[in-house]
Amino acid sequence: MAALTQRAGEDNPLAPRSKRLGEKVILAVLFACGAVSVVTTVAIVLVLANETIPFFRDVSWQRFVFDTEWQPFGSDLDVVRLGIWPLITGTMHVTVIGLLVAVPIGLAAATYLSEYATPKVRGTLKPTLELLAGIPTVVLGFFALTTVTPFFRNVLGFEGIDFFNSFSGGLVVGVMLIPTVASVSEDAMTAVPNALREAGYGLGASKSRVALRVVFPAALSGIVAAIILAMSRAVGETMIVALAVGSRPTITLNPFVQNQTMTGYIAQSVGGEAARGSFQYEALFAVGSTLFLMTLALNLIAAAVVRRYRQEY
Amino acid sequence: MTLSDEHANEVNGMQQSTTTDPGLAAPPATATAPDDPTVVTEPVFELQDVNVYYGDFLAVRDVGLRIPSNEITALIGPSGCGKSTLLRTLNRMHDLTHGARVEGEVRYHGHNIYGPNVDPVEVRRRIGMVFQKPNPFPKSIYDNVTFGAKIIGYKGDLDELVERSLRGAALWDEVKDKLHESGLSLSGGQQQRLCIARAIATEPDVILMDEPCSALDPIATLRIEELMRDLRKDYSIVIVTHNMQQAARVSDRTAFLSLDVKEDGVRTGIVVEYDTTDKIFTDASDERTEAYITGRFG
Amino acid sequence: MATTTTAPTTDRATFEQPKHRARRELRIRLGLQAATLVGVVVLAVLLVRVLAVGLEFLDWGFLTSLPSRIDPSQAGVSPGLTGTLSLMLIVAIGSFPLGIGAALYLEEFAPKNRLTNLIETNIANLAGVPSVVYGLLGAGLFVGILDLGRSLLAGGLTLILLILPVIIVTSREAIKAVPNALREGGLGLGATRWQTTYKLLLPQALPGMITGAILGLSRAIGEAAPILVVGATSARFRNSSPLDLLEQFSALPINIYNYTFDPDPTFQAIAASAIIVLLGALLLMNGIAIYFRNRASKGVR
């Protein structure tokens, strides 16, 4: 009989030898690590609500939604302007311009990498795009403010561009988003099985035709998800816009004037007069809640698009 | 978590396998010479009404077997009929497959291993397993062999344990000068013998082998078969093999499994016949066994 | 000669692609190539600009001296640099065990039930939350409710939560890459789940996990928004050490932010110098990560 494992005269030799308490403790610790994520989400919601709810006790939601200016400075709650739309306008400018830059370029890059490039070329270009993705946004903000805007103003001589404006911010946000759009779309496109491409080539279609008419539609859910994801990141981007867009939120269609985004407002207002308990402090969280809900909605939509429309091969 | 899902492939691929070698119905006369008669005394395993489910799918049904100690028992049959599934019920490996469920009783020396208050870890420390593809740990040969013993808290002489186990697996002479090299540096056959050494190092009672030679060349295969015959003295061995000549060569008893197909097309694995190897290969009772042995199907 | 409105077909005798189509294909190809290079070009322009402007101020003194309160052009990023390093130490110590633990739990121990689903959904959602919202979380929870003040600890905790999803995802990938045969071998010998995980799986997955962890850190090092909201400041004139947990702190990204805003072009040059330091640190970290990634791919055969 096995000397190492058997115990003599035992009624049930297969019973657990020890309570294995150590294992149970370890399991509990590991579970706690996993649970941190749930706790974090709950904490975000609670912390945001903690200041947003008092805010809306003093400020009516109509005022928040319909007032046309955002001027929260001052001490008299009845006098300050607390309309969210100017901030949303700034965010929208940056997002739209950013997508106008990132989506065509990102999709083109994805198409090139997935359909045209040799493995060697891919091996050099993909890491370079990843490099771009790794640049801290504060550095990109520096670039936007000190290089891009002066380029348009001084080198190209456009006089209608303010020193701070949403256009430069949008451009650089777009550049920041190129790797995101490119890599998610490229994943979607390379996932399309070769058999489909070969069917296209077999019918005499050229490379660009196959890419556009065969691969694109097949990868569409992934591509749409990439775009929505990029939108969400544009909305949430802070440092580029805090540096380049400005601090004067305005409802306007002109992207060349100064403006302010929701994220820029939050970043620029901390450390200022927003003492805890003041309505400016609460306003920070109200804007933060709006931001959180917008990006959450976009992320959920992106996930739903992938789930519902993904072609199963 | 989805540890043994790969073995569910055996279930999912419920199709007739390609025949290995037709013919060779009669085993060589010297291959098996069981010392005991057809009656099994002192079984190491007693299975009763065993059903195995993967989710809602019944993979193997109504198994009742008495497996003797210190003998080699082979499970043969066409691929996909549940041989590996059945083997894995003997050491509770199905615990690790999500959705797998075992009904019935599997008694090991009288104790139902699926009973309450049974620790599967204790079960596996007594019932070892060798897998189809040799899987030595990415550690030294020495550390491979001592792994199981250290897990249990063995306090004795590890060097002696390593030599004893490697000798028992007929590997000692080949590796005694390179015990601290990686186990992965060995050839396929040597790796499998290392896995056997690793398994016997904890002095289990039983060794289960799931197609242990299917990834090896014929020469390595024969060495392992020799080894099995030696191991029989100290261990009970249950082996799954799709190579029926191998079963004929090494085993004392053989169980033939096949697929039972109902009118609605549902396929379930069953034990068609279980007897001494001699009887199975020379004078099978069931015509399905006969058909498989003579290569008419499978 | 009959003329039709459709494009001329391929010359059947020679299989030559008609010239116009060849030209169009070439134009398309060049256009796509150009688009792919846009990002590269912008990156290059950025780097050239930063180097051109910032190298002037960059010397050892810059790295080690404190900024002068009197003469702004006597700048030094020592408070920012030490602040960033201290932060990174805290973030590493906090996020690696948490992230690796969560990854182990989800891959090896968690049952397939609704609670596990909830955890996984949460991790995916948290990855998409804007970093400035993490800042608000830090401000409300760590600075406010837990009353840690605008401190290094509060900043560190905030960044830990920010990069946790990244660490979890990359660690899970590393664990998934370990072949099942290893687990079966261990469990088949009678090892418990944890013994198998700890003695067999973890050593194999570790290089990949470290790569992921370093990548997570490289994200954290460049983050300004969260610590800005928590209260990182440029008005710190002393060095930080990891032990100054409850003190105010500075960090390189914050310095960059504040210096950039200043209309004085000298300060913009200083910002560029600080950027060079930050990018240098990033380069170093990525180099280490690549080293570990190569070790990981030489791992299990």
ipTM (interface pTM): 0.90
Q: Which of A77-86, B145-154, C88-97, C153-162 has the lowest mean pLDDT?
A: A77-86
Residue-wise pLDDT for C78-125, tens only, equals 888 889 999 999 999 999 999 999 999 999 998 888 999 999 989 999
Taking CA atoms, B296 is separated from A128, B11, B18, B272, C152, in Å, by 62, 22, 11, 16, 78
**Looking at the partner chain, which of A33, A204, A207 has a beta carbon nearest the beta carbon of C101?**
A33
Question: Between residues 94 and 113 of chain C, which touch chain B (CB distance below 8 Å)?
Answer: 107-112
The stretches of chain C forming alpha helices (DSSP H) are 19-54, 60-64, 78-104, 114-127, 131-137, 152-176, 180-188, 193-196, 202-221, 225-230, 252-261, 265-297
- pLDDT score for B27: 37
Instruction: Supply C238's token pair.
Output: 């002393």
Is the pLDDT higher at C17 or at B196?
B196
From chain A, pick out residues whose CB is under 8 angstroms from the CB of C141.
43, 47
From chain A, pick out residues whose CB is under 8 angstroms from the CB of B126.
2, 5-6, 13-14
| Closest residue in chain A to residue B236, using alpha carbons only | A1
Low-confidence ranges of chain C (pLDDT < 50): 1-4, 300-301
pLDDT for residue B9 is more than 60: no
Q: Which of B24-28, B158-162, C151-155, C260-264 has the lowest mean pLDDT?
A: B24-28
Per-residue buried b or exposed e for C22-36, using 16+ beta carbons within 10 Å of the residue's own CB: eeeeeebeeebbebb
| Closest residue in chain A to residue B69, using alpha carbons only | A1
Average pLDDT over residues B96-120: 88
Average pLDDT over residues B119-144: 92
pTM above 0.90, yes or no: no
* H or E segment to which residue B108 belongs: strand B100-108
What percent of chain A has pLDDT above 90?
47
Query: Apex CA C77: angle with CA C72 and CA C81, to 5°?
Result: 160
- pLDDT score for B22: 36
Q: For residues A101 and B160, what is the distance between their CA atoms, to the nearest angstrom?
A: 71
pLDDT for residue B3 is more than 70: no
Identify which of B296, B210, B297, B213 has the alpha carbon closest to the alpha carbon of residue B259.
Answer: B297
Q: What count of Cα atoms within 13 Å lies in the side-chain half-sphere of residue A14?
A: 23
Residue-wise pLDDT for C128-167, tens only, equals 999 999 999 999 999 888 888 888 999 999 999 999 999 9
- pLDDT score for B19: 36
Contact A13 B122 (CB under 8 A): yes
Q: B25 to chain A nearest CA, in Å? A: 37
**Looking at the partner chain, which of A31, A138, A204 has a beta carbon nearest the beta carbon of C105?**
A31
Q: If pLDDT is split at 50, 70 and 90, which confidence band does B18 have?
A: very low
From chain B, pick out residues whose CB is under 8 angstroms from the CB of A12.
111, 117-118
Count of CB pairs separated by less than 8 Å, B with C: 78
From chain A, pick out residues whose CB is under 8 angstroms from the CB of B123.
14
Optimal mutation site among B45, B121, B122, B233, interface A, most CBs of chain A within 10 A:
B122
Question: How far separated are the first and last CA of chain A, in Å rounded?
Answer: 54
- pLDDT score for A11: 59
Residue-wise pLDDT for B69-92, tens only, equals 999 999 999 888 889 999 999 999
Optimal mutation site among B90, B92, B118, interface A, most CBs of chain A within 10 A:
B118
Q: Are strands B236-240 and B57-68 parallel, antiparallel or unpaired?
A: unpaired
Residue A90 falls in which region: left (phi positive, over 0), alpha (psi -120 to 50) or beta = alpha
Residue-wise pLDDT for B250-263, tens only, equals 999 999 999 888 88
B230 CB within 8 Å of a chain A CB? no
Q: C31 to chain A nearest CA, in Å? A: 8
- pLDDT score for B98: 81
Average pLDDT over residues B217-229: 90
Count of CB pairs separated by less than 8 Å, A with B: 47
Q: If pLDDT is split at 50, 70 and 90, which confidence band does A218 have?
A: confident
- pLDDT averaged over chain B? 83
Residue C184 falls in which region: left (phi positive, over 0), alpha (psi -120 to 50) or beta = alpha
Contact A267 C225 (CB under 8 A): yes
> What type of residue is C186?
G
Contact C182 B137 (CB under 8 A): yes
Quick one: three-class SS letters along C226-273? HHHHHCCCCCCCCCCCCCCCCCCCCCHHHHHHHHHHCCCHHHHHHHHH
Q: Which of A292-296, B20-24, B271-275 has the highest mean pLDDT?
A: A292-296
Q: Do C174 and C212 touch, CB atoms closer than 8 A?
A: yes
Helix axes C19-54, A166-190, angle to 10 degrees: 130
Phi, psi values for residue C224, rounded to 5°: -110, -40
From chain A, pick out residues whose CB is under 8 angstroms from the CB of C222.
134-139
From chain A, pick out residues whose CB is under 8 angstroms from the CB of B204.
2, 5
B123 CB within 8 Å of a chain A CB? yes
pLDDT for residue B14 is more than 90: no
Q: What count of Cα atoms within 13 Å lies in the side-chain half-sphere of residue C281?
A: 23
Q: Which of A41-50, B1-10, C19-28, C89-98 has the lowest mean pLDDT?
A: B1-10
Contact C128 A299 (CB under 8 A): yes
Is the pLDDT higher at A12 or at C216?
C216
Q: Which of A19-23, A194-198, C234-238 has the lowest mean pLDDT?
A: C234-238
Instruction: Supply C192's token pair.
Output: 């418990």
Contact B126 A5 (CB under 8 A): yes
A135 CB within 8 Å of a chain C CB? yes
C202 CB within 8 Å of a chain B CB? no
Q: C8 to chain A nearest CA, in Å? A: 14
- pLDDT score for A101: 95
pLDDT for residue B16 is more than 50: no
